[in-house]
Amino acid sequence: MAGKVISVNESNFEQEVLNSDVPVLVDFWAPWCGPCRLIAPIVEELAVELEGKAKVVKVNTDENPNLAMRYGIRAIPTIMVFKNGRVVDTKVGVQSKEVLKALLT
């Protein structure tokens, strides 16, 4: 399963997310965040299940504060879905796999 979720930072966000040909689920998280650790396995499963149809990336908000600020991240985990370079949906807090999958399909 490992290797399907892409770690994104300020230098490759535009390439991996904004310029993507497929929908992108972005998980804004931090290592110290308990709920972020709860949702991580769900995010990883989605990355495997939706390979080729959607992209799943993670942004560490501690290491990428400018991205967190740019997208108004006030609580984590925050899940944003991007299509054609634009945010089309946002969910804050732990979400079920079904809810997250529905955002991408």
* 33 catalytic residue (yes or no): yes
Name the catalytic one among 4, 9, 30, 33. 33
Name the catalytic one among 5, 17, 26, 36. 36
DSSP secondary structure of 78-93: EEEEEETTEEEEEEES
Radius of gyration of the chain (CA): 12
Two tokens, residue 66: 């400018």
Closest listed residue to residue 78, CA positions, set 42, 35, 48, 45: 35
By annotation, the residues acting in catalysis are 33, 36
